[in-house]
Chain A
Amino acid sequence: MTLDFLFFSSSFIIHHSSFLRMHELSIALSIVELAQEEAERRGGVRVDAVHLRLGPLAGVVKEALLGSYEMASAGTTMAGSRLIIEDVPIVVYCPQCQAQRLLSSVQRFCCPECDTPTGEVVHGKELEVFALEIEE
């Protein structure tokens, strides 16, 4: 497929099935669609870049999404625009400390200060277009 060249640079993708590509591609299409709607709402402005906030618990692989974005935007008014991804760290609420704590590993949901297990995720599931760079 013509899609393949976009992904061969990422060894991560090769080790995973073609499922992953479709998943990130459909997310990329949603981003393009959303940005287009926002650009139209602002009078059809041209978008240079889309800023995305992405949490590790969103279920989206950053590299695959970046690779899919070019594909998704090609042939649309968003063609040539850049996708800029800001990683959002996982923040949990620790009931023991009664405070928000930064999680260091997605494999261990425990307070880094007191080691209390906590599943109360405050941040980390974000998959959000938070800004557009537009030309005026």
Chain B
Amino acid sequence: MSSESDVSRPVAVLVPRLVEVRQNVLKHNDVVARALRERFRQGGVFVVSLVSSPGSGKTTLLEKTLILLRPRYRVAALVGDLATENDALRLARSQAPVKQITTGTLCHLEAAMIENAIQGWDVGPLDFLFIENVGNLVCPSSYDLGENLRLVLISVTEGEDKPLKYPTIFNSADVAVITKMDLATAAEFDSTAADRNIQAVRPGMRILRVSAKTNEGMSEWLQFLASLRDSPQARPGGSGGPPREADS
């Protein structure tokens, strides 16, 4: 009657064990971003990325910026877009080297896409490289692209509470640029409220106001860029910035 499975036999109990891992989920991206940042530093190129909602004026500001910088600096741009090459074609009118990164259905750029896009490029001769992210205020905040400066744009037609709705992207950026200032009056844009909201989510954040159409604020913006290029260690806005892997 008695079988092998008697009480005398020890019972094997499967106890799940908790093992510590402590790994950043985006470590691969961070490693690539860190290598890019080092490559840019060695080449002496200052890298600026732009994030905003679709339609905030990233491409328009960038086109104007490329045109105005070109007489004095060597500039290039990478443009992320879901499907079209329209933005790259627009930016190419500035005569600066422009490369499109088509992300397909991906909502953001990752460091590896930047690495791919500049494969074979000698970044050394460049003074500025601009990276226009996909129009999206959510996803790009998680990904370090190796940039020196991250701009977040809001246009005066979007509403002053945008920073409160998307605090994470504002927190991941270094500088806020309020665009389409030529429409401020028509849009009844409340500048004080916008400033207050930006400062609430990112105390000390530098705010610039521009109109790429009328050139309002453009010279201040360009001077700001030039001053940063000359002292790239001086990142404005205090701590924060794109998520970066600890140096440890």
| CB < 8 Å neighbour of A16 from B15, B19, B26, B138 | B138
Q: In the bound complex, what is the Cα–Cα distance between A118 and B205 (angstroms)?
A: 11
**CA A121 – CA B141 in complex, angstroms?**
15
Contacting A119 at CB < 8 Å: which of B138, B168, B169, B239?
A: B239
Taken together as a complex, chains A and B put the C-alpha atoms of A108 and B27 apart, in Å, by 29
Interface readout for A83-124 with B: 1 if CB under 8 Å, 0 if not? 000000000000000000000001111100000011111000
Is B172 an interface position by the 8 A CB rule?
A: yes
Q: Is the CB of A22 within 8 A of B107?
A: yes
Residues of A within 8 A of B35 (CB): none
Q: Does B125 contact A (CB under 8 A)?
A: no
> Within 8 Å of chain B (Cβ to Cβ): is A40?
no
Q: Does B2 contact A (CB under 8 A)?
A: no
Q: How many residue-residue contacts, CB under 8 A, span A and B?
A: 124
B124 at interface by CB-CB < 8 Å: no
User: How many A residues, CB 8 Å from partner?
Assistant: 44
Interface presence of B186 (CB below 8 A): no
A27, A38, A51: the one contacting B142 at CB < 8 Å is A27
Q: Which of B60-68, B195-203, B208-216, B218-226 contacts A (4 or more CB under 8 A)?
A: B195-203
Please determine whether A133 and B18 come into contact, CB atoms closer than 8 angstroms: yes
Q: How far is the CB of A80 from chain B (nearest CB, A)?
A: 13
Q: Is the CB of B26 within 8 A of A30?
A: yes
Q: Does B106 contact A (CB under 8 A)?
A: yes
Q: B residues engaging A (CB < 8 A)?
A: 14-28, 105-108, 136, 138-139, 141-142, 164, 167-169, 171-172, 199-205, 237-240, 243
A sample of 5 cross-chain residue pairs with beta-carbon separation below 8 angstroms, ordered by A number, consists of A23-B142, A31-B25, A106-B167, A128-B22, A132-B18
